[in-house]
Structure 1
Amino acid sequence: MVRMRKNVNQGAPTFNAIGHSGVSLDQVSKYFGKIKVLDQINVDIDAGECVVLVGKNGSGKSTLLRILAGVLLPDSGTVGKTKSTHMYASDVLPRLPFTAEEYLSHMGRICGIDSKRLRQRIQELSNLLSLDSAMDQKLPFLSKGTLQKVNLIQALLPGPGGLLLLDEPLSGLDISAQEALTALLEQWKQAGTTIITICHEPKLVERVADRVLLLRGGCISRQWTREELLLYTGPSVVHIQGRSLTEQSTHAISKLEEQDGVLSVTSHPDSSHVQEVCWAWKVASYASDQILRAILEAGGSIISVQQDQSSLRMESLLEEEA
């Protein structure tokens, strides 16, 4: 359960170990220079809850997550966390001069995972996210989506339990990896993991979130329960994963983004084929046949098509008044 509290007490920032709740923030504020990024945040999150943070750019979401991870210190207020494993995947993984396997092995050793279990965990998670072919490639040469998989695996190495902090975990992932990660987070929550994530992907919010908190101007301006989120559910959508094989087809397909029914499009170069570009489309179901036909006529190929039964209208949440 998530509870927002009003408290007038202020003082120097402190970190306390707590036993009754996964996370507790009391009057937490943060400045960057003269700009107040977080403004007296008060919230309790129980152990085993999944809370999703939403909000427009600059609303303070990533700063709040970094404070929970211990990467940043608040300028005032108190942060309380249970004495448990803390796992964190930031929004960007630095392109360090290591192979994926070297990086993951190093991060696992830092977490204190014994070598036999570490090898097993890396293998399990790389299989789950289809990372095997990139394990011996250096991080600077990986695509955005592949780099994100490495970033997620390093956070997931310790296993379920404790506190898991994720900043846009589905960003850049192909549809199959998004599905695999969402299913894993469902399992982890059932196993008692406290999950706090920034996410604007309806799939994860619908299936895993217990509460959604809207940040605006550094404040929590609104919250929703799982039941209340049903009011923001719209018509079904179709996810299309495809590939363009030539520069000419890539150019032609890019022009389709403005067609009626296209809700979002992401693309990234295929790490194994320099000329190829992978596409992920989210389209309204009524326009899916038309978009599929247009992609093929533009010289693209279709990898997979998946239909959601419903779609949470995230843009409606972001526009909500406090």
Structure 2
Amino acid sequence: MIWSTRGLFKKSDQAIPDSLGRGLQLQQVSKRLGNAQVLDQINLEVKQGECAVLVGRNGSGKSTLLRILAGILLPDTGSIQRTMKGSERYAVDGLPRLPFTSREYLWDMGRIRGIRPEILRGRIRELSELLYLDTAIDQKLPLLSKGTLQKVNLIQALLPGPGGLLLLDEPLSGLDIPAQEAIVSLLVQWKVEGTSIVTACHEPLLIERLADQVIVLKKGSVLRYWSREDILQVGEPVVHIQSLTEAGEDLANDPSILQQPGVLSLVRNTSSGNSNSWLWGWKVVQQSTDDVLRMILASGGSVVSVQQEESQLHMESLLEGQHPAAHSSHGDVTESADLGFSMDAMGRKTQ
């Protein structure tokens, strides 16, 4: 289900998107840690308002690359050019359990960034409500569960508002489904407002909804590069809805319903034991879920259940460098190792 997060921050606090080709560019970036070559000649370009998703197995170099982008580590060789407006924010993979309450930690992080107290107070409240922090806002960080601690970690990175560069290391790790939906919907909005995002992530939800490019890392090198067009070949996740209407109300022959955008199929469950009502099974594309639910309720029906179908994106194959749609029932790709785009030595796409 698509969440609305518009108006989370006042418009006067939001960044203004820039169309002058601003962004971030890495050329031939390499890094050694001890005796290990952690990154080897990485090329990456992220324009303003784009999202690049880093995927790869443990030890592939994702977190090291994010630390370099955040300025925590310096590359041994190569160059980094940043021409976008706004600040850099970083949500690490695992927030330390510092001896503060969530509110104290977020307040100090906001003041360190120079956010005015009257603005900061509102942003902490709004983001805490968005991610369902509830009473954990006044609990000590060492007492929080992994998922709740991750919410605090994300909130501190989101406090400055949209714009600039947002670096996220496994942002959905440990989050419950409502919080995952809320954070992805917020990031979709912030992309439109000019925020550039680089994130390491293995959740198909984020890749399908946010990624303009997917960079597959293997042992510190770029194995493959996939564009937004490649991701779209996977097909949008399908949502299953069950609804009830009065017996005799034949939705399957209603032209206004059959022509509703996003409705893939509508079938009546004839095995329903209630003679006074009919049970309907809907199959709709994810993007149209909210519209269909509103239509059901507006017509006097009731919603029994909403269940999202498993994503069509096959992460295991993606990690091996195969095309995102290699195992998708929506895609035409069958052998993907040579069908997509890869990176040349300068970070350009090559067939």
Structure 1 residue runs of 4+, over 2 Å off? Answer: 230-238, 308-311
SS at match of 2:189: helix
CA distance in 1, matches of 2:318, 2:311: 16
Using a 3 Å threshold, how does the CA distance of structure 1 residues 135 and 62 change in structure 2: closer, same or farther? same
Q: CA shift at 1:232, angstroms?
A: 4.3
Q: CA shift at 1:34, angstroms?
A: 1.4
Tell me the equivalent position of 1:246.
Answer: none
1:138-287 matches, within 5 Å, as 138-232=140-234
Q: Deviations over 1:66-104 (max 9, x none)?
A: 100111111111111135210110101000000000000
Task: Tell me the amino acid that sits aligned with residue 313 of structure 2.
Answer: L
Tell me the equivalent position of 1:63.
Answer: 64
CA distance in 2, matches of 1:309, 1:191: 30
CA distance in 2, matches of 1:58, 1:48: 28
Q: CA shift at 1:32, angstroms?
A: 0.7
Task: Tell me the amino acid that sits aligned with residue 206 of structure 2.
Answer: L
Q: Deviations over 1:247-284 (max 9, x none)?
A: xxxxxxxxxxxxxxxxxxxxxxxxxxxxxxxxxxxxxx
Q: CA shift at 1:237, angstroms?
A: 8.5
1:288-307 matches, within 5 Å, as 306-307=307-308
Tell me the equivalent position of 1:298.
Answer: none
CA distance in 1, matches of 2:56, 2:306: 29
CA distance in 2, matches of 1:43, 1:54: 14
Q: CA shift at 1:48, angstroms?
A: 1.0
Q: Which runs of 5+ in 2 are unaligned?
A: 1-19, 241-304, 322-336, 343-351
Task: Tell me the amino acid that sits aligned with residue 96 of structure 1.
Answer: L
Q: CA shift at 1:230, angstroms?
A: 3.7
Task: Tell me the amino acid that sits aligned with residue 217 of structure 1.
Answer: K
Using a 3 Å threshold, how does the CA distance of structure 1 residues 111 and 178 change in structure 2: closer, same or farther? same
SS at match of 1:215: strand
Contact 2:30 2:40 (C-alpha < 8 Å) held by counterparts: yes
Counterpart pick for 1:135 among 130, 133, 137: 137
Q: CA shift at 1:225, angstroms?
A: 1.2
Contact 1:234 1:313 (C-alpha < 8 Å) held by counterparts: no
CA distance in 1, matches of 2:45, 2:22: 7
Q: Deviations over 1:121-167 (max 9, x none)?
A: 00000000000210110000000000000000000000000000000
Task: Tell me the amino acid that sits aligned with residue 317 of structure 1.
Answer: L
Q: Deviations over 1:164-216 (max 9, x none)?
A: 00001000000000000010000000101001111111111101111111011
Task: Tell me the amino acid that sits aligned with residue 314 of structure 2.
Answer: R
Contact 1:234 1:312 (C-alpha < 8 Å) held by counterparts: no
Tell me the equivalent position of 2:318.
Answer: 317
SS at match of 1:52: strand
Tell me the equivalent position of 1:24.
Answer: 25
Contact 1:108 1:154 (C-alpha < 8 Å) held by counterparts: yes
Are 2:118 and 1:116 aligned?
Answer: yes
Using a 3 Å threshold, how does the CA distance of structure 1 residues 318 and 232 change in structure 2: closer, same or farther? farther
> What's the TM-score, normalizing by structure 2?
0.65
**RMSD (CA atoms):** 2.0
CA distance in 2, matches of 1:118, 1:139: 20
Q: Deviations over 1:47-70 (max 9, x none)?
A: 111110001111101100110011
Identity of aligned residues (%): 65
Tell me the equivalent position of 2:108.
Answer: 106
Contact 1:236 1:311 (C-alpha < 8 Å) held by counterparts: no
Tell me the equivalent position of 1:285.
Answer: none
Q: CA shift at 1:233, angstroms?
A: 5.2
Tell me the equivalent position of 1:39.
Answer: 40
Q: CA shift at 1:235, angstroms?
A: 7.7
CA distance in 2, matches of 1:174, 1:206: 18
Tell me the equivalent position of 1:93.
Answer: 95
Using a 3 Å threshold, how does the CA distance of structure 1 residues 233 and 55 change in structure 2: closer, same or farther? farther
Q: CA shift at 1:310, angstroms?
A: 4.1
Contact 1:237 1:310 (C-alpha < 8 Å) held by counterparts: no
Task: Tell me the amino acid that sits aligned with residue 313 of structure 1.
Answer: H
CA distance in 2, matches of 1:215, 1:305: 36
CA distance in 2, matches of 1:125, 1:45: 26
Contact 2:204 2:311 (C-alpha < 8 Å) held by counterparts: no
Contact 1:53 1:214 (C-alpha < 8 Å) held by counterparts: yes
Contact 1:62 1:167 (C-alpha < 8 Å) held by counterparts: yes
Between 1:71-80 and 1:150-159, the stretch displaced more is 71-80
SS at match of 1:312: coil
